[in-house]
Amino acid sequence: MEDRPVVIAPAESATPSIVRIAPRARSPRASAAWAFVRMTRASWWFGLIVSSYLIQKAFARLASDGWAAARWERVHAKNARRLYRACVSLRGVYIKMGQVLSIMGTFLPPVYGRELEGLQDKVPARPFRDIERAIAASLGATPQRLFAAFDETPVAAASLGQVHRAMTHDGREVAVKVLYPNIEAIMRLDLRVIGWGLSLYRRFVPIAQLERLHGQLTEMLEQETDLSHEARCLTRMGACFANDPNVLVPEPRPELSSARVLTMSFMEGVKVSDQDGLARLGLEPRAVARKLVEVFYKNLLVDGFFHADPHPGNFFAQRGPNGEVRIVMLDLGSATPVHAPLVDGMMTILGGFMAKDDGMVMSGVETMGFVAAGGDRELLERTVKQYFQRLLNLDISDFGNIGIDQASELADPGLRRRELRKLMRSVSFPEGWFYLERAAVILFGLSGQLAPRLNLAQVGFPFVARYLATRGKPRAATA
């Protein structure tokens, strides 16, 4: 009997919902029509938001400051909800844009962060025939020939691609990540529309160098649509934890990979946010949170290379042979080197905070690159001093249960609207800040859910001490 490859058919109950993001390119006319429709839908959403701000701007000129300020809050809230719906409706690149915007709470009206933080980088699955063709086009053979078995049902689907479980001919279980067909064309089209939308939005939220958001988004998408880049990140991250058996990273299989297909070892585990799953493994949430934070500090302060998208789905937990927590790191396409001035500036701010030295704190802010050229340095310095004074006076004993009043007290700069607009023009986006803030906010938030009373400073102290002891010295290569 002939030895034939097996395709594992999906169980009927496990069949995912199917969506087609873009039609198969049957003719230039069909592709052009689809592009026009997509651009029109995106332009309609952006136009709705911009029109709302234009109307509000006209009203604000005629109304009292108090009434206008209250209405600005309502308009921001309505437009944040509209932007969320637009991202969910359009998917693809817009999901990524929403994720980047969701971590800009320091720079955008806070309601945007609250609305957009619910975005998950998940979309309904694409039909298997599309994935089959994509693999064949990239690797020169169908999955049925390349693998001993291949599950048609994806284990995960995201905005740019999806992951399938398979078995190699040498008997190893692997995960196969495949980019969607035509995703580059979709990305280029969406980035043009997003660039137009941001240029208009800047008229109403006057943040210095908002255009850099577009550049950061473009860079991130270029990395995530090159799976050979992710393969290199897997190798580098694996080297970072080569001496730690309790941090696991998938190993890429180069002979079954390309720029559009990434085959890597399949990793078992439970999501770190699944507390019932952790209980079944006999793992304490506090121990899981501590290990996650240790991984982040080591990446940031020792390796100089970190996971920029550490949401719960990208970390699994396993139970080690002696009951210890093991962390599995997944989806490293957004992993990135640390921009050195960011860490140096943070260490200076930390020193200033501990010494209660406002000048040192401001020096750290400047080192990080937050001071925009031509901005009002005096206003920025005054605001920074006020913020850290509030931080010193704030009693926060439970990281996971910061009250609304405490959060509002920290978030409110205590400025009139005119001063606030001037402050926003005085703030720049440091190189690499999007990635670092995203990682810190997501990871520390997750830690707060798992172990609200975990002392993050205490966990990080050994890594901070090691960083300060080697400050200015070249780091050993990890890849």
Residues with catalytic function: 309
Query: In angstroms, rounded to a whole number, what is the distance separating the alpha carbons of residues 399 and 397?
Result: 6
CA angle 135, 141, 143 (to 5 degrees): 60
190 close to 94: Cβ distance less than 8 angstroms: yes
Q: Are strands 247-248 and 325-329 parallel, antiparallel or unpaired?
A: parallel
**CA distance linking residue 371 with residue 414, whole number of Å:** 19
The answer to whether 100 touches 213, Cβ cutoff 8 Å, is: yes
Is 152 within 8 Å of 146 (Cβ atoms)? Answer: no
d(CA 378, CA 194): 33
Cα 393 to Cα 397: distance, rounded to the nearest angstrom: 12
Tokens of 295: 């991984």
342 in Cβ contact with 433 (< 8 Å): yes
Pairing of strands 315-319, 325-329: antiparallel
Q: How many CB atoms lie within 10 A of CB 288?
A: 25
Tokens of 105: 């709470």
Cβ-proximal residues to 430 (8 Å cutoff; 6+ apart), any chain = 339, 341, 342, 368, 369, 370
Is 464 exposed, middle or buried (CB count within 10 Å of its CB: 0-12, 13-18, 19+)?
A: middle
Q: Are 101 and 79 in contact (CB under 8 A)?
A: no
Instruction: Tell me which residue has tokens 């009292």.
Output: 64
- How far, in Å, CA of 161 to CA of 171, rounded? 25
Cβ atoms of residues 262 and 227 within 8 Å? yes
